[in-house]
């Protein structure tokens, strides 16, 4: 683990940094760099909807050609599926040797979509939170932990650059974990697919559908399978599984263990091992990139399928009952 005391901002203090993209991570990391007194530019496509937003935040916008020429460090924060094209169009033959590329996800490097020249420093600084949290915690004089890694170390200062950059976005206030591009990529994809996104959303929908198909009111199913999830997740976030189980009833805790031992562990572990294998062998990456080449045909079919699911229709009505949606009710 590394912390503020291990990071020397001098390694990037006089460098010109350009953040490629101004989305969730892009805006947060750029603003944190700016507030840390690092000269920071934003690179966006000429038709980007984020140009005005970035200008209002005080950034100068560079065209890709100018960004590559001017910058000492490029931070690649555009979507995974767009990074390969950007790299080979603008960076591969135009970026000066000894300069640095920073990624916040190792997808394109690990899966060989980008095979960088060996004359660049290639590093990873991956905050473990969405961009708005990276920004809000920084403003609160706090931060979110981050993973750091070095893939290529041309000038022998790559780790120091990663540490300095992580400090400037606030992550070293909490802690930095040294890893590899491979491990960050594979664990990140696995977590998203098996637990955080795919796992949770599938569990919610399956539970909701099971109750509704058994004749229970959709509103009851929504409360039990989705609404109350936040209460449990908050307890887990604050104190782990042990504290969550301490806070719930004996009935709920007994049901937790019984269901896990008799059903979930026997089924989920087998499925999760298949998910992990599919990530490790590159099959998921191939399917994702193939769908991108088809204008995300499958992704858009999935979006259309689930956006009108009964759980969304019921949830929209129920959420209007709560105080955080009061303005929506009166409007």
Of 247, 226, 234, nearest to 309 (Cα)?
226
Residue 280 assigned as binding residue = no
Domains of the chain with CATH codes: 4-179 (3.40.50.720), 192-321 (1.10.1040.10)
Q: What are the tens digits of pLDDT across the range 137-156? A: 999 999 999 999 999 999 99
Residue 4 assigned as binding residue = no
Residue 194 assigned as binding residue = no
Residue 170 assigned as binding residue = no
| C-alpha to C-alpha distance for 15 and 12, rounded to whole angstroms | 5
For the question of whether the overall pTM of this predicted structure is more than 0.85, the answer is yes
The answer to whether the beta carbons of residues 72 and 99 sit under 8 Å apart is yes
The mean predicted confidence, pLDDT, of the chain is 94
Of 84, 162, 80, nearest to 127 (Cα)?
162
Q: What are the tens digits of pLDDT across the range 164-181? A: 999 999 999 999 999 999
Q: Which residue among the candidates 27, 105, 110, 227 is catalytic per the annotation?
A: 105
Among this protein's residues, is 105 annotated catalytic?
yes
Residue-level pLDDT at 112: 97
Contacts of 284 (CB under 8 A, 6+ apart): 189, 193, 278
Residue-level pLDDT at 320: 86
| C-alpha to C-alpha distance for 107 and 184, rounded to whole angstroms | 9
| C-alpha to C-alpha distance for 321 and 153, rounded to whole angstroms | 55
Quickly list DSSP for 259-298. Answer: HIIIIIHHHHHHHHHHHHHHHHTTHHHHHHHHHHHTTSHH
Residue 293 assigned as binding residue = no
Residue range 298-320: mean pLDDT, rounded:
93
Residue 22 assigned as binding residue = yes
Residue 312 assigned as binding residue = no
Residue 131 assigned as binding residue = yes
The answer to whether the beta carbons of residues 315 and 226 sit under 8 Å apart is yes
Q: What are the tens digits of pLDDT across the range 91-111? A: 999 999 999 999 999 999 999
Q: What are the tens digits of pLDDT across the range 283-298? A: 999 999 999 999 999 9
Of 252, 196, 197, 205, nearest to 225 (Cα)?
205
Residue 325's pLDDT band, with cuts at 50, 70 and 90, is low
Token couple for 190: 């696995």
pLDDT of 30 strictly over 60? yes
Residue 228 assigned as binding residue = yes
């Amino acid at each position: 683990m590394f912390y503020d005391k291990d990071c020397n901002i001098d390694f990037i203090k006089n460098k010109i940094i350009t953040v490629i993209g101004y989305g969730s991570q892009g805006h947060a990391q750029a603003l944190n760099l700016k507030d840390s007194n690092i000269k920071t530019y934003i690179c966006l496509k000429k038709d980007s909807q984020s140009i005005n937003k970035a200008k209002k935040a005080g950034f100068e916008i560079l065209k890709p050609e100018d960004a590559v020429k001017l910058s000492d460090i490029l931070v690649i924060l555009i979507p995974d599926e767009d990074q390969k094209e950007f790299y080979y169009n603008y960076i591969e033959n135009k970026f000066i040797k000894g300069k640095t590329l920073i990624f916040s996800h190792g997808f394109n490097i690990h899966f060989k979509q980008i095979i960088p020249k060996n004359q660049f420093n290639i590093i990873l600084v991956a905050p473990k939170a969405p961009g708005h949290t990276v920004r809000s915690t920084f403003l609160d004089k706090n931060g979110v932990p981050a993973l750091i890694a070095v893939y290529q170390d041309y000038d022998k200062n790559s780790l120091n650059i990663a540490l300095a950059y992580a400090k400037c976005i606030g992550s070293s206030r909490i802690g930095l974990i040294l890893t590899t591009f491979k491990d960050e990529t594979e664990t990140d994809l696995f977590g998203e697919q098996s637990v955080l996104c795919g796992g949770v959303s599938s569990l919610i929908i399956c539970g909701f559908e099971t109750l509704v198909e058994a004749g229970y009111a959709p509103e009851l199913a929504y409360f039990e399978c989705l609404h109350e999830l936040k209460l449990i997740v908050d307890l887990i976030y604050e104190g782990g599984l042990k504290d969550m189980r301490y806070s719930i009833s004996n009935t709920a805790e007994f049901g937790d263990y019984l269901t896990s031992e008799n059903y979930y562990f026997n089924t989920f572990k087998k499925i999760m091992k298949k998910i992990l294998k599919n990530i490790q062998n590159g099959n998921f990456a191939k399917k994702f990139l193939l769908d991108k080449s088809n204008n995300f045909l499958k992704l858009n079919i999935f979006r259309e399928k689930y956006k009108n699911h009964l759980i969304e229709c019921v949830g929209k009505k129920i959420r209007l009952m709560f105080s955080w949606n009061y303005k929506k009710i009166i409007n």
